Structure 1
């Protein structure tokens, strides 16, 4: 008697959280940088996005990445989620009388350490797809421009950072949506570049 074996696909039963994290990061980044580019004031829309989508949604995505045993995703999404929450805190705590307003020098240190952290994560993307390499590479540039804008007080640099940040955020949105559509259709609908070997 011949026994026929059929391979069984084992799934962890957990959806891919990366599109949520990427879209949360990207949409919040685009909106903040439309402000940095000088199109509208810093307002409640940006703060709410920073708290609930850029902040909370990314932390949730990072926790799910931990369940999927993805250390890079855990580190990136939870860290940038808390970046958004801390950025909103930097804005609101002085308004509530709970802390002094952040000086330009302190803001440079804050943005600079996040830029350095992002640079280190960028090296991790060299083993991932080209779209993520672009997201993290452009984010390193964004932090650098924001530091330069705050350090010099030159609004033209901050406005340039805003335009560059719109590109960075849009690339994250693209990468997140590409992940969703490619999974839904079971083929490459939106290319994200080959995974590095």
Structure 2
């Protein structure tokens, strides 16, 4: 049920972080259910990557810019375009537009995203514990996926899948916590603010 009384917003612009976190989290969980071996890569994952993981995060990042939040702008816009580029890497070879990216090249792609995530992790040290957990597990996820692509070790891919499920679920939790805490004007779901 939608609240009947409006929730006051300080600057007149709603908080885009829950949208970005839920878009990232839900898409990450679905892709990593595949990585963990629960089902094959399919159109559901690709569509989520394009529209929710991709476009919704870019929109959230643009709104963060309007709110003068450099961290939010950088993170949401970057990961939105990560999802769009990942879907491109999967779909474009099937359309015959480019050769399939595999082995060392795909490993380098994932490793550079891991490095980027690790560097952003330091920004979370001034934010809250929930975001620290999201970025720490995401760094581990990218490292595991890069190792998997470099070695072709299926068990590493499955381990990465489980790490990704935890990472995505923690992002969903953080996004929903932001929504509920704002609506109720108190801590409903704790995110561990930095003291």
Query: What is the TM-score when the length of structure 2 is the normalising length?
Result: 0.95
User: Which residue of the partner structure matches residue 167 of structure 1?
Assistant: 166
Deviation, structure 1 residue 194: 1.8
Give the unaligned 5+ runs of structure 1: 1-8
Q: CA deviation digits over 1:109-140, x for unaligned, max 9?
A: 00000000000000000111000000000000
> Rg: which structure is higher?
1
Does residue 176 of structure 2 align to residue 177 of structure 1? Answer: yes
1 CA distance for matches of 2:56 and 2:10?
Answer: 24
1:149, distance to aligned residue in structure 2 (A) = 1.0
Structure 2 gaps, min length 5: 1-7
Cross-structure match for 1:134? 133
Matches within 5 A, 1:4-43: 11-43=10-42
Residues 6-46 of structure 1: per-residue CA shift (max 9 Å, x gap):
xxx99320000000000000000000000000010000000
Distance in 1 between residues matched to 2:65 and 2:193, nearest whole Å: 24
Deviates more, 1:141-150 or 1:46-55: 141-150
The 5 Å alignment of 1:3-82 reads 11-82=10-81
Find the counterpart in structure 2 of residue 154 from structure 1: 153
* Aligned 1:178-197 pairs, distance under 5 A: 178-196=177-195
Between the aligned partners of 1:125 and 1:158, the Cα distance in structure 2 is 27
| Matched residues, number | 188
TM-score (norm. length: structure 1): 0.94
Distance in 2, matches of 1:153 and 1:48, equals 26
Q: What is the root-mean-square deviation of aligned Cα atoms in Å? A: 1.1
Corresponding position of 1:86: 85
Specify the alignment match of 2:110 in structure 1.
111
Matched residues in 2 for 1:79 and 1:190: separation?
Answer: 27
Aligned residue for 2:167, secondary structure, equals: helix
In the alignment, the residues of structure 1 paired with residue 193 and residue 134 of structure 2 have an alpha-carbon distance, to the nearest angstrom, of: 15
Runs of 4+ in 1 over 6 A off after TM superposition: none
State the shift of 1:104 in Å.
1.2
**2 CA distance for matches of 1:152 and 1:194?**
39
1:86-121 CA-partner distances (Å, limit 9, x unpaired):
000000110111000002111000000000000000
